[in-house]
């Protein structure tokens, strides 16, 4: 197992309502030079709270903040996401 840092470059929060969406969740893209992943996180987690409050853009120099996560890999496949943080 190995750990690699990823930067979240895109996000979209989908709100609960109208019977089509039973839960509020967030879809995001996390990437670095080697990997690019599209993931989904549900409301009530630490990562969702960070993404809900922060502007996420690939042009992080305009906004001054980046959302970083650590991905745990096994045989070059992403197992889980740990340690979300804002820099």
- Alpha helix stretches (DSSP H) within the chain: 46-53, 60-63
Contact, 41 vs 25, CB < 8 A?
yes
Query: What's phi and psi for 63, nearest 5 deg?
Result: -105, -20
Q: Domain extents for the chain?
A: 2-86
- Statement: 2-86 belongs to CATH 2.40.50: yes
Integer CA distances (angstroms), 19 to 4, 6, 45, 53, in order: 38, 34, 22, 25
**13 pairs with which residues across the strands?**
26
Residue 64's pLDDT band (cuts 50, 70, 90):
confident
Q: Is the pTM of this model over 0.75?
A: yes
Question: Would you say residue 17 has pLDDT above 90?
Answer: no
């Amino acid at each position: 197992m190995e750990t690699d840092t990823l930067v979240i470059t895109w996000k979209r929060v989908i709100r609960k309502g109208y019977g089509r969406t039973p839960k509020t969740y967030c879809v995001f893209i996390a990437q670095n030079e080697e990997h690019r992943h599209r993931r989904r996180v549900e409301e009530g987690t630490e990562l969702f709270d960070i993404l809900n409050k922060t502007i996420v853009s690939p042009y992080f120099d305009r906004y001054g903040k980046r959302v970083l996560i650590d991905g745990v890999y096994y045989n070059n496949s992403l197992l889980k996401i740990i340690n979300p943080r804002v820099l």
